[in-house]
Amino acid sequence: MTQPTIPANSSDASSPQDDAWNHLLALEAQVQTTQTSLTLHTTELARLCQTTNTISHSLQMLLKHLPPTPVITPTPPIPPETNPAPRFNVSAAPHTKIPCPALPDTYDGDWAGNVCFLQSCITYIQLSDEEFFPLDPAKTAALSLCNPN
C-alpha cells in the first residue's frame, strides 16, 4: 500500500486541507501498525495450532500403544451374614492372673515434680489389684490428703 503524500502548498499557514492530510497520514500509519501486529499474531496463532495438532497426534499414537481398559462389572453387594464368624480365636478360659502395673518413678524430693509423682502413684494404685497393693484405712487417709485434684 502506497503512502499518500501531502501536495506542496506555497503558504505557511495550515489550511483545513493540510489538517485533513495530516490526519489521513496518521491514520495510514495506524493501519500499517495494525496490519503488522495482525500478521505477527496470525503467525503465532498458526504456530500454536501446529503445536496443538502435533500434540494431539502424539497422544493418539500413545493411546494406540496402550492396552485396552478392562471392563469392570459391578459386583452385587454381599449381604451381611446373620451369624458372622469371629475374627480371632477367643479362649474359653478366663484369665486368672492380671499383670502388675509398672511402679511409679522414685520421688527425687523436687517440690516442682510432686504433683506428677502423686499422680503416677494414684494411677498405680487404681490399676493395681488388692493383692498387689492392699489398701488399709491409714493408706486411704494419707492418699486422700495427697490427692492433687
69-114 confidence digits (pLDDT tens):
777 777 777 766 665 555 555 555 555 666 667 777 777 777 777 7
Say if residue 77 is exposed, middle or buried (CB neighbours under 10 Å; 0-12, 13-18, 19+): exposed
Query: For 1-11, what is the mean pLDDT?
Result: 56
pLDDT digits (tens, 9 = 90+) for 43-64: 999 999 999 999 988 888 888 8
**C-alpha closest to that of 7 among 23, 20, 18:** 18
Q: CA triplet 72, 76, 81: central angle to 5 degrees?
A: 140
Rounded distance between C-alpha atoms, residue 19 and residue 41, angstroms: 33
Please say whether the beta carbons of 6 and 25 come within 8 A. yes
C-alpha cell read off for 110: 523436687
C-alpha cell read off for 118: 502423686
Lowest mean pLDDT across 14-18, 66-70, 96-100, 127-131: 96-100
Portion of the chain with pLDDT greater than 70, in percent: 64
